[in-house]
Amino acid sequence: MNTKDYKLKTKELEFLLKKLSDQGKLNANELKKLNQISDLIADFEDEKYPFKADSLKEMVELRMYQRKLKQKDIAEILGTTPSRISEILNGKRNLTYELAKGLYSKLNIDPELILQ
């Protein structure tokens, strides 16, 4: 992907996120598209602007910033509740296998950070 593609994908992502925010949900195809676009954008940003996070919390917050997501959006993507995401990020709850798998596959987070 080049910079022009990146800008187009970012606009497409913003459209889907606005729709998610306005309606509170996306249909299965839109959610799949949101995840694919998010992955493409994250890969481009990782390549162009590499960043080494020190913790899972930093990395999740970076993904939230990069993709203009809120905790409720992350929860929706991972199939959990915003409060559970908050508890995990604040160290009050351990990750489940399913959430760890989602962080890796849906948010493209390094497994080493997830396993820390």
Instruction: Please tell me what DSSP assigns to residue 91.
Output: T
Of the given ranges (1-5, 19-23, 58-62, 102-106), which has the lowest mean pLDDT? 19-23
Closest CA to 77 of 15, 32, 18, 29: 32
Q: Express each pLDDT in 18-76 by its tens digit.
A: 888 888 888 999 989 988 998 899 889 888 877 677 888 898 998 888 888 899 999 99
Domain 3-115 CATH assignment equals 1.10.260: yes
| Other residues' Cβ atoms within 10 Å of the Cβ of residue 75 | 18
Q: Are 30 and 16 in contact (CB under 8 A)?
A: yes
14, pLDDT greater than 80? yes
Residues 53, 39: Cα–Cα separation, whole Å: 18
Domain ranges of the chain: 3-115
The token pair that represents 78 in the structure block: 């991972």
